[in-house]
Structure 1
């Protein structure tokens, strides 16, 4: 078998910016068993072959990019027969020492919630995660739950229920803002919106989003809360450009969302292009592969 060497990233020209990166702690799962053998979102096509070796190389490049920027990455062991476990963001959400593992809508992914809960229980204590449980309501983790400053933006419409939003507020002790998704291509919040920084006193976090992915009422909420948001184009959203991870300065996202790269640079962010074209075949990109372990950096 011929060994596959991860491609070398070509460094982008240095961008002068006052934005500062905050070191993060991420949990990822390698695509050891990744394949598309069922179709539960519009991106999946069982007739389109997947190159698992290439998917592994691309995943390794993302992990290496995080580490090259100083971020810590822990890895959960992939479980056989769970091909979508690579999309770690869906496995749960961690805030303030509390971890809530996901409860999936589709039976094909149901066992993933237990797998991530097991990791939280086995490894969480060393990182200060003291409250651990699995959601009682349908709740697909950071796929639909994105922390923006002091509020949790919570998607609904396809996977995570409104009842789950109330559960998240109670069990994680956060204020929740519900956002309704209306386009099945953007079935999770993290495919239609990304949080770019945490904001500050009297300053709203910076977000980027695709307006037409949301109901009219949710568009109104977003306009009022984030008047200076970056509005993405449909072309960038259709390559999952909004499925991104930001440390407040560096934004890790698909290399295909080129106009979004330009918009980010205009606002002082530094795009870090990543090729995840194989994992796109399952309906995920950078954020889908990344679960943030918030509040654990100091004890990691």
Structure 2
């Protein structure tokens, strides 16, 4: 029986969901949303009924299977989503479980996602969610009116987001956990202010949700912008974050390390992300971090801070829109502190 209990990004991972690439389709979204968030050279790929190249999906499926086997070999219980016919449902895929679900303590919170193409994504996780609820987890459904679309625009410090506040909208991948009472996140093209208020209400008064000042005109998911490695230490994206602006918030007193600028790449194409997807790491325990096999500069940086990089080929999963953090969902982490010295 699955158990839920996770409230940070670095304690030893004991139970997790690992996504599957089966049937991956390009999300068919409003053109304004696509142009606001996706790389310009790939805008025309985002049309109804258009699958990702089958050789990329096949290779991504093998990379995800290798990830699942590695985690199991490290003592982590791994769950996989059910296969869903995305081409019939106008959907995307189940490769990125972190986007749709937020685990905080014993709560599993459904995200009221802004993208129409992703609103049926939880079909792939529904049997697992039922199992989690039977095991004692608090399953909190989104409970917002998805018939109302928040595509009326809204003000931001960078101009206008692709969504306004007509209804609460947030993606779980726009938030990170820093402890049992602290979540940090960002406003973005898929997370609005009423969505943040909705999340605060779902988590309750015992959990504070802080919005970080992020400089990203294409903001959509924070896990290629900030990456906590352990309590008090985090990587940040030097193009998107000014660390001086974080001194008065929950990251005040943390050591903030700029991530190395990623190398340019085009094989396979990054259809849905920037090269900063290299920062989308998964901390397995107080020492081990999963990192893409070719990101050698990042591996060297992690090693210099006493972390042990676990290089794994993951470029085809990245082509689908995320990396190790997005492709997993922590269900249970062990909160015991790492031994000193």
Same fold by TM-score, threshold 0.5 exceeded?
Answer: yes
Query: What band does the TM-score fall into relative to the shorter chain?
Result: 0.7 to 0.9
Contact 2:15 2:330 in 1 (8 A): yes
Query: What does residue 89 of structure 1 align with?
Result: 98
Query: What does residue 175 of structure 1 align with?
Result: 208
Once the two structures are superposed, residues 68-94 of structure 1 have per-residue CA deviations (whole angstroms, 9 ceiling, x without a partner) of 221121112132113332111112111
The answer to whether residue 63 in structure 2 is matched with residue 54 in structure 1 is: no
1:257/1:225 Cα in 2 relative to 1: closer, same or farther (>3 Å)? farther
- TM-score relative to the length of structure 2: 0.70
State the Cα RMSD in Å. Answer: 3.0
CA offset at residue 221 of structure 1? 5.4
Query: What does residue 240 of structure 1 align with?
Result: 277
Once the two structures are superposed, residues 45-82 of structure 1 have per-residue CA deviations (whole angstroms, 9 ceiling, x without a partner) of 33983522211111111111211221121112132113
CA offset at residue 115 of structure 1? 4.7
The answer to whether residue 222 in structure 2 is matched with residue 192 in structure 1 is: no
Structure 1 residue runs of 5 or longer lacking an equivalent are 1-19, 200-204
* 2-structure distance, mates of 1:170, 1:296: 26
SS in 1 for 2:82: coil
1:135/1:295 Cα in 2 relative to 1: closer, same or farther (>3 Å)? farther
Query: What does residue 315 of structure 2 align with?
Result: 277
More helix as a share of residues: 1
Query: What does residue 12 of structure 2 align with?
Result: 22
1:160 to 191, 201, 205: 191
SS in 2 for 1:229: strand
1:33/1:224 Cα in 2 relative to 1: closer, same or farther (>3 Å)? closer
Query: What does residue 151 of structure 2 align with?
Result: none
Contact 1:25 1:296 in 2 (8 A): no
* 2-structure distance, mates of 1:217, 1:21: 26
2:142 to 107, 129, 134: 134
* 2-structure distance, mates of 1:282, 1:185: 17
Contact 1:138 1:164 in 2 (8 A): yes
Contact 1:27 1:75 in 2 (8 A): yes
CA offset at residue 248 of structure 1? 2.1
CA offset at residue 165 of structure 1? 2.3
- TM-score relative to the length of structure 1: 0.78
Contact 2:15 2:332 in 1 (8 A): yes
SS in 2 for 1:105: coil
How many residue pairs match? The answer is: 270
